């Protein structure tokens, strides 16, 4: 710690000392969140989930997926919808990216993904489309679920990707591999 910062801190103000050290280190890029607070939850639920429960598994769907047998589930995750070179009737996206608060569920019968409680992914495990989907773990807390858009609509082309930030990324990846999703990315 540099001398000028140490001179501004009184020895009795421990909380302030930690805060000022974290701010100074953050500006220099020396410390990451997991270094500052070991054991703390690295991936927080989104603010819209914590305040308004947006991104939760819908109440109408919850009993159905519980009866199917939940393998892995998480809700309130920050996520991104990414469309690359997607072309369809009256639609063209060279590179579109939109954030959302969502949930992802893998049951013994299907894969479900929601963005703001709207279903985005709903594929049965025994459906041949499952083999055309790809799952990849980019970081220990980042899961990517991508597919070619022509897999679901013949008039479309391009890659659609849903990226979720969750501490359960490895568990989701293993569960998706077990139901037939391929590792990697479509292109």
Among left, alpha and beta (phi > 0; psi -120 to 50; other), residue 96 is: beta
Q: Which residue has the higher pLDDT, 2 or 180?
A: 180
Q: In three state form, how does the secondary structure of 81-99 look?
A: EEEEEEEECCEEEEEEEEE
Mean pLDDT of the chain: 84
Two structure tokens written together for 162: 């849903």
Share of the chain above pLDDT 90, in %: 69
CB 151 within 8 A of CB 97: no
User: Which distant-in-sequence residues (6+ apart) come within 8 Å of 68 by Cβ?
Assistant: 107, 108, 109, 110
**For the structural domain made of 47-183, what CATH number should be given?**
2.30.29.30
pLDDT digits (tens, 9 = 90+) for 56-107: 999 999 999 999 999 999 999 999 999 999 999 988 999 999 999 999 999 9
pLDDT (average), residues 15-34 = 45
pLDDT digits (tens, 9 = 90+) for 147-168: 999 999 999 999 999 999 999 9
Q: What is the C-alpha to C-alpha distance for residues 186 and 162, in angstroms, rounded to an integer?
A: 13
User: Is the pLDDT at 12 greater than 70, yes or no?
Assistant: no
Q: How many helices (H) and strands (E) does the chain have?
A: 6, 8
pLDDT of residue 10: 45
The residues spanned by each domain of the chain are 3-36, 47-183
Q: Tell me the pLDDT band of 44, cut-offs 50, 70 and 90.
A: confident
User: Is the pLDDT at 1 greater than 80, yes or no?
Assistant: no
Edge-to-edge order in the sheet of strand 142-148: 118-124, 110-115, 91-107, 70-88, 157-165, 142-148, 133-139, 182-183
pLDDT digits (tens, 9 = 90+) for 119-132: 999 999 999 999 99
User: Is the pLDDT at 2 greater than 60, yes or no?
Assistant: no
User: Is the pLDDT at 11 greater than 60, yes or no?
Assistant: no
Q: Tell me the pLDDT band of 20, cut-offs 50, 70 and 90.
A: very low
CB 94 within 8 A of CB 60: no
pLDDT of residue 3: 52
Q: What is the pTM of this model?
A: 0.76
């Amino acid at each position: 710690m540099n001398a000028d910062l140490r001179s501004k801190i009184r020895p009795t103000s421990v909380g302030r000392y930690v805060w000022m050290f974290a701010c100074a280190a953050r500006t220099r890029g020396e410390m990451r969140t997991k270094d500052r607070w070991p054991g703390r939850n690295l991936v927080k639920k989104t603010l819209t989930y914590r305040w308004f429960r947006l991104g939760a598994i819908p109440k109408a769907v919850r009993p159905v997926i519980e009866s199917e047998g939940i393998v892995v589930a998480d809700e309130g995750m920050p996520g991104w919808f990414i469309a690359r070179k997607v072309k369809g009737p009256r639609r063209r996206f060279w590179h579109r990216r939109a954030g959302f608060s969502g949930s992802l569920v893998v049951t013994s019968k299907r894969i479900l993904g929601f963005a703001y409680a709207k279903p985005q992914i709903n594929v049965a495990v025994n459906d041949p489309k499952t083999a055309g989907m790809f799952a990849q773990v980019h970081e220990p807390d980042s899961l990517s679920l991508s597919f070619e858009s022509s897999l679901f609509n013949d008039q479309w082309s391009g890659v659609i990707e849903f990226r979720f930030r969750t501490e359960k990324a490895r568990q989701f990846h293993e569960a998706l591999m077990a139901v037939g999703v391929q590792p990697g990315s479509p292109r």
